[in-house]
Structure 1
Amino acid sequence: MASVVNVETRDTIRQFLDGHFTTIDSLEQVGELLSAEEHTHKQLEEEERVASRRVNELSVKAAAAANGVHAKALELIDIHSQIAGSITDSDTSKWDFGDGTAVMDFVGALASDLQTYWKLRQAKEYMGVVLNIEQIAERAAQALPGDTQGMVSALSSGVELLSKHGGGVNQEGAQQLAEHIRQTVCNIWENAERAAANGLGESLRKMRWPGKVDQSSDAALREFDASFSILARLEHIVRESETELQRNGVELLPEGAAALPLTHLARAVDIRMRFHFESARETSRADKPELWLSRIMGMVRNMVPLLESHVQDLYNRTGLAAVDVRSKFIELVLPIVERKLMRDREEYQNNGLIVAQVARELAGFEQTLRDAYFFEGAGVLERFLDDSGTFAAWVEAERARAIKLYMEAIAAPDAFEPVYAVDVVGADEPRPSQIAQRAVMLIEDIGERYEVIPSCMQRLQMLATAQFPLIIALVEDLESELDEFSRVSLAFMRDAVEGTSGPTSTAAQLQQLAAWYHTAWFVEEAACDWNCSELYVAMWAGVCRHTATRDSNADPRDWREGCDAWDERDQRVLDATPALDNDAWLDGGIWERTIGTLGALRQRILGLMGRAISKDVIAQLRAYRKKTTWATEDENRDSVSAVLSVVILELAHLVENLSELVPYTALVRVLRGLANEVDSFLVDRVACVHSFNTNGGEQFATDVRAFDRVISLPIEGGARVLPRAYESARILCCPASSTDSTTSDMTLALDEWTPTVLDPAIDEDEALMVLAKLGIRRLALNDVRRLVRNRIDFAGYTIA
């Protein structure tokens, strides 16, 4: 057989060589090829030796692993026997695992049983845990209802068991067991907390709370202390195991919750609040916030002595985080108030005026908490008004109510009738009309209601929406009345019939104008007072601060133009506390433009008064203007001209009435305007157009003095109010020559000073200087020349 192989091998080699090495050159490469093949053969031999060593090592390890599996299998079989009662094969300890193939076969055979054995072992452990948790639950149930300490102990054991077995392998059985433990712990917690809370509530009832707490009962105090301490112990258990509880998905106390004993003290308030004011009972009324707020304040007031004298010390011994129990108790009561507000939110939005009442009561409630109990925490009012729907309902209700009441007042026939008689309020004080008093009261009522709003921006929105429209409406109504007055009343001449009694039409016009004047004045004075009040000063400071932040060159008085677009950024600026050293905003005020508008309106009314009285007087002076007896020889020059006597009397009556209708400063302004009209009339329409002799001039001087006395009588200081007419009278009654007798106070006669004044060749300034030395300073040079020319008894010089 070997020879056959050799022959075949040789033939194969020969064929290989004949096929690949056909030339001598190719045969030279045979040596190189054989060397390469030899090297490859050696490498393969080395790799075979390494593989053999590796197989031996793995065989040893496999044998060790098989032995370990064998030992584990025996252990599992023993567990299975204990559970299922089966008999372990006595020959298993003699199994031979020397052969690697046998090991793998054995492992494969045990693979399915191994999982079963492991589950059986887990089941045994789970059964023990279930037994423990059931025993804990039974202990807790047996402790109900009186043995609260037993429930606390059971809870502690349950939390400990949950920490050990609550989490772990993500298997269905383990998850179900963990859920069962969690549920049991939660049930124990709820029962223990409820029992301790009931004990706390019962002890408070025995101490007569929510009435005034009676601390004289030692038994009630001991019961209170026991329940309080148990609640503290429950919290201790939870806080100490908080990490494990969170890991197992159990939340017995919310994160950041207040101390459990204090929470249940506040819950006692909550229970009574829900019963009386958050149910179908008659006491649950949204429009009566004073009822439930006073009830809560009463419960707080009666609880505080117990908190200060007993609970604070009791709490300090619990080891919980240090707090002021009084302040914390109040802090826990406030969410009850907030919940009630949210419950009635729909009713507030349907009737916005209730919001004003609620805000006022809330502000008083929080102020009492701060003043009486030194509470420094956040209140409820600001959050209540932060609800845009609620605040918008309040603003709209205030606006609608104010406009409705204003329209009713302005439509009344006596809208501009004075509220008080002249003898009650002097002329130097504003006498309000019915509409002025109504408008001011409406504005002040709105301000008093929204004064409690903490937010400056919301105050400004209320001001712009509910108060300013009233001022605008009043100003527009006054301007409408004045426009109508100017169009109708002043379009007619005086219509007085001699012999009739009662006030003239001019007197009636003045009375009507005075009513409008006092309306504007009263509201203007009120606005000045508002501008200096604390409420509006703070609002003005916010406006100035906001304007400076947005645009340093802007006028803060223009704040209303953009207030509808304000957002949260604007609110932060407006509501910020102003720096104490920044008083630049003190200039001006929130009502400054209102004051300016009303002041301008008053000046317009005074102008109309002056026009009315001037028109009446000038109309009566028509006959006086046509008088042609100024050059007579009448010796009775001490009496007023006959055609002027009635005018003087009626003018005196008008001036007297006017002095009772308007303040002194306004009277002076009207009379000065009247004096200018009369002064111009006497000079331009009488003195400069008629011919006079000395007697006529003295008569004119008497008339001028009569006018001057009537018009200047109310004016302090006795200053002449008809200066041009007075100077004209001096010229008209000046003696023609120094030899003439006269009563004139001129130091020189006409023939002594007129050549200098009347000569066109003389410089005008020199002529005026001469006149000034004679006491004639208000008349123009041309007027003087006309007056001299009108002296028919003086022909000493003719004007070219």
Structure 2
Amino acid sequence: MASAQIELLSRPADKSASIDYAVAFLNARFSSFDQLQHGNALDDALKESQQKAERLQAQLLESQAFVNDLVRDTKAKATERLSSAQELALLRHSVADEILSLSEELSSANVSEMRPTLLEEIETMHRNIKELESVKGYVQVVQSALTLSERVVNAVKSLDTSLLISESSLSDYKALQSLTSTIQGACSQADDGTGQGVFLPVFLNNILDKTWLLLKETLSDSLIAASEQLQWPMPVDYAAASEDNRSKFQHAFINLTTLQSLGDKLHKDQKQHEHKPTDGLYPLQALIRPVAQRFKYHFEGSRQTNRLDKPEWYFAHILNLTHEHRRFMDNVVQRLLHNSPFEALNAWREFTRLLLPIVSRKLRRSVPSILTNPPLLAHTVYQCLAFDDALRDAGFSFVGTSAQTTSSKPEDWEGCSEIILGNKEWFESWLAGEQKFTEAQYETIISSPDAWTIVNDEGEQLGQDNELRPTISARRIKVLVEQVTDRYKVLPQFLHKTRFLIGVQVPILELYHTRISESLDAFEALSSYFVRAVPGALSGQSSSADSKRATAGTEGSSRLIKGYVSAKWTAVVMSNWGEDIFFLELWHSICERAALRSRVREVDALPDPSVVRDEGTIFDELVKQYNALAERAETMLVKQICGEVESDLKAHLFKPPATTPGTGEVILSQTLLAPIARLSAHLTLVHQSLPTNTTTNLYRQIASHISNHILQRQVLYQGRGRMTSQEGKNVLDEARLWVETSRMALGGSVRRVEGPWEKLVDSGKLLSLDGEAFAKAVRISTMGSEAEYQTFCGDLGLSSTSREEATDVLKVREDYPK
């Protein structure tokens, strides 16, 4: 029984609980008042309760006596056990002190002057024995590995020259390989708790690799010795060699291929084996060694052939080797490979591939020394690209070599140039040098005294505009940009080509566009025909006399023509470039690759590839800009010529017509000679400088403007009834003079020279009519039918004047009916 329960039962009775119990008992026993009145029910219940209470009281006294006895016995036992526990505690402390004393006696570490105890000496000896046993096992494993390695190497060295190496010759190597695998497996399960690996497997793997390398070197030495009898590394005349020398060479060659074949089988499951199939064919690796030694002697030592400024020497040396030994590789080595497990290899390509590390090593050593010399760096890059192209043209690729993969393609070989181009720092240095050189060439072209002279030769062929002759600067810019194209079109990757396009070519074309645009801006600022009136500006402040002379007359027109020719010719050239297969492929690649699109999208002078995709060409945006510049120059030329002719016409148009005294005939004024001469000079210059189609277009704009100006000023602005028939005849004569002047200035290069002047000539014909003819013209133009008017025009020779225009012209005559 729990103490809490004992405590609960020991408490005195609760009076309120007793009352509640009595009430509940009565309620349960007597459910109504009638039950109380029935007999002695209440007295009986009381007696029953009293009897029950007496029984419970007797049980209580009995329980109380039992509890008292139990408490007394429990106290006695507790006292006894407490005493026993105290005695045990004292005994524990005594035993602990005794153990401590004994342990101090067993160890000498706590007492510096005390000698080691016998137990300590025995334990130390046991540890030493275990360590020595471990070392012994370690040394025995190493000794076994070294013994196996030495035996297999000696077995191969002592192999009879008439015998071929076989799998049985490598039995000790297989045993060494098995030992290494066993130890490695055992050590992989061991854990020293430090997290560090056991060195023994690594050491055994090194022995295994060195053993294989010794086997390879042993057989390679035999092959090199045999090849030297054939005059290797000089070109080999195999047919002229003795039978014995050829037999030794073949035997040594086959031994090496057999060794490599056995090695591929033995190392098939060893992923960490350092000699991989991509290292190359063993016999050809051996033949490369003398070649590499000669290369090192000539191009990596102190000889005169080792020059940084002559990279073409060592490139040519390697190319010569590939050419000189190709016949030997194709006819001899390839035949030996056909009878070996490596019959799929192409001997010449494999030999050439093994020569490439020599060039790569030379480039990696020499390029850092020439990064500060842009011309020499560029020369090295171009020679390297030429070297790669020469090998590709000779038929070299990774297909048919030990570097071939299942998906290899001939174009997978990036070339030795990738050593430079793939290095970001080196490529940026080269690109910066090319930019500076090209910009210097551009400045030389622009600053040349004859930069804006139009060439006189007819050697340029530009399709439909083949008559357009460029300025010297435009032609030189074309040559400069094409030279840049020739330099970078051989680059193997489109990323590098795009960098050249954006960083070198486009800036030159943008600079030239800006130069022409600035020339036109300057012309507009200096020419009086383009300067707008500014309120408050002082007269004569816009330009000096020299500036006016430079922009006036044929000299000013010549400047505009040169600007037009430079822009238009360059636009045509760029259109042709855009259709070139090289730029079409480059543009297609840019549209297909997100990395290239992001670069081109940042250049305003190039189209947005994300918008146009494959439509158009790469130079469309620049062509558009240059064409806009040419149109601007053309508009300025028309405005300049028209402005000068109109300026000279002022004296003629606002001067009363001269008449012959006594006759009243109007004669041609001398003031007309200046504008006619001006127009003739300009048209002659245009005809001599520009092609026929451009000349025709410009002439029609100029003549139409001047013709309309004369018609308005000389005829229509006169007012109604202000001109006589004789003055009308003078207008006709002057109009015909303008036409004839234009025809002579253009030299017959433009058809229908009279076209732009037709309205003026028609007006002169109408105004020159007399009497009945004039009255008929007035009647038909005002009251006649359309058919009558057309018949009248045909009879009179009118070609481009409407009925309303004819009426307006006729009203100028003084005899027009009112």
1:522 paired to 2:569: yes
Residues 1:700 and 1:390: Cα distance change in structure 2 (over 3 Å) = same
The separation in 1 between residues aligned to 2:731 and 2:558, in whole angstroms, is 32
1:201 aligns with 2:215: no
Asked whether the 8 Å contact 1:278–1:284 carries over to 2, the reply is: yes
Q: Superposition pairs for residues 162-561 of structure 1, below 5 Å?
A: 162-163=176-177, 165-166=179-180, 167-168=182-183, 189-215=212-238, 216-218=240-242, 219-242=244-267, 246=270, 251=273, 253-254=275-276, 256-320=278-342, 322-347=344-369, 349-354=371-376, 356-373=378-395, 375=397, 376=410, 378-380=413-415, 381-382=417-418, 384-420=420-456, 429-491=467-529, 505-546=552-593, 560=603
Residues 775-786 of structure 1: pairs in structure 2 closer than 5 A: 775=793, 784-785=806-807
Task: Work out the CA distance in 1 between the residues paired with 2:291 and 2:763.
Answer: 93
- Following superposition, the deviation at residue 639 of structure 1 comes to 7.9
Q: Could you say what secondary structure the match of 1:560 adopts? A: coil
Which one of 716, 719, 723 corresponds to residue 751 of structure 2?
A: 716
- Given the superposition, is the C-alpha separation of residues 649 and 132 from structure 1 closer, same or farther in structure 2, using an over 3 Å criterion? closer
> Which range is displaced more, 428-437 or 511-520?
428-437
Determine the C-alpha separation between the residues in 2 that align with 1:636 and 1:350. Answer: 88
Distance 1:139 1:513 in 2: 89
Give how far 1:367 is off.
Answer: 3.4
Give 1:706 shift: 0.8
CA–CA distance in structure 1, aligned partners of residues 419 and 234 of structure 2: 30
- Give the C-alpha shift of residue 641 in structure 1: 4.2
Alpha-carbon spacing, 1:176–1:590, altered in 2? closer, same or farther (3 Å): closer
Number of the residue aligned with 1:671: 699
Alignment match, 2:11: none
Counterpart in 1 of 2:534? Answer: none
Deviation of 1:557 (Å): 8.7
Distance in 2, Cα, partners of 1:338 & 1:128: 42
Matched AA of 1:350: T
Aligned partner (choices 749, 758, 775) of residue 751 of structure 1: 775
Contact 1:655 1:710 in 2 (8 A): no
Deviation at 1:404, TM superposition (A): 1.9
Tell me if structure 1 keeps the 8 A contact 2:478–2:573. Answer: yes
* Deviation of 1:592 (Å): 1.4
> What is the TM-score when the length of structure 2 is the normalising length?
0.67
Q: 1:152-194 CA deviation, whole Å, 9 max, x = no partner?
A: 799735414414544446599xx99988876766665444433
Distance 1:477 1:178, change over 3 A: closer
Q: Is the 8 A contact 2:554 2:681 kept in 1?
A: no
Inter-CA distance 180–618: structure 2 relative to 1 (3 Å threshold): closer
What is the aligned residue count? Answer: 640
User: Which letter does structure 2 place at the counterpart of 1:628?
Assistant: P
Deviation of 1:450 after TM superposition, in Å, equals 0.3
Counting aligned pairs with the same residue, the percent is 19
**Residue 398 of structure 1, CA deviation:** 1.7
Change (3 A) 1:213 1:559: farther
Shift of 1:558: 5.2
Q: Name the residue aligned to 2:728.
A: 697
Distance (whole Å) between structure 2 residues aligned to residue 641 and residue 658 of structure 1: 27
List per-residue Cα deviations over 1:527-573 (Å, max 9, x = no partner).
1221121211111222333489989xxxx995736999x9xxx9xx9
Matched, 1:617 2:672: no
Equivalent-residue separation in structure 1 for 2:437 and 2:281 (angstroms): 47
153-162 vs 385-394, which moves further: 153-162
- Give me the whole-angstrom Cα distance separating, in 1, the residues matched to 2:780 and 2:274: 116
Change (3 A) 1:717 1:124: closer
Give yes or no for contact 1:152–1:234 (8 Å, CA) kept in 2: yes
Shift of 1:407: 2.0
1:296 to partner: Cα distance: 0.8
Listed one character per residue, the Cα deviations across residues 224-260 of structure 1 (whole Å, up to 9, x for unaligned) are 223323323433453343269x59x8x4624643332
1:729 Cα offset (Å): 0.5
**1:93-147: per-residue Cα shift (whole Å, max 9, x none)?**
xxxxxxxxxxxxxxxxxxx99x989999997998799589559737956987997
| Residue number in structure 2 paired with 1:580 | none
Q: Counterparts in 2 of 1:121-140, with a 5 A limit?
A: 130=143, 134=147, 137=150
1:733 paired to 2:733:
no
Kept in 1, the 8 Å contact 2:452–2:473? The answer is: yes
Residue 620 of structure 1 contacts residue 647 of structure 1 at CA under 8 Å; is this kept in 2?
yes
Displacement after TM superposition at 1:459 (Å): 1.4
The code of the aligned residue for 1:506 comes to G
| Cα drift, residue 317 of structure 1 | 3.2
In structure 1, how many angstroms separate the alpha carbons of the residues matched to 2:583 and 2:646? 48
* Residue of structure 1 aligned with 2:714, choices 668, 674, 686: 686
Residues 729-751 of structure 1: per-residue CA shift (max 9 Å, x gap):
122111232xxxxxxxxxxx232
* Aligned equivalents of 1:422, 1:510: Cα separation in 2: 22
- Superposed CA RMSD: 4.8
TM-score computed with the length of structure 1 as normaliser: 0.68
Structure 2: runs of 5+ lacking an equivalent: 1-61, 67-124, 192-197, 398-409, 532-548
Residues 136 and 157 of structure 1 are in contact (CA less than 8 Å); yes or no, is this contact kept in structure 2?
no
- Match of 1:258, as an amino acid? G
Distance 1:645 1:185, change over 3 A: closer
CA shift at 1:632, angstroms? 6.5
Q: What CA distance in whole angstroms lies between the structure 2 residues aligned with 1:634 and 1:546?
A: 88
Deviation per CA, 1:464-486: give whole Å up to 9, x if none. Answer: 11111111111111111111112
Equivalent AA in structure 1 for residue 220 of structure 2: A
CA 1:770–1:125 in 2, change beyond 3 Å: closer, same or farther?
A: closer
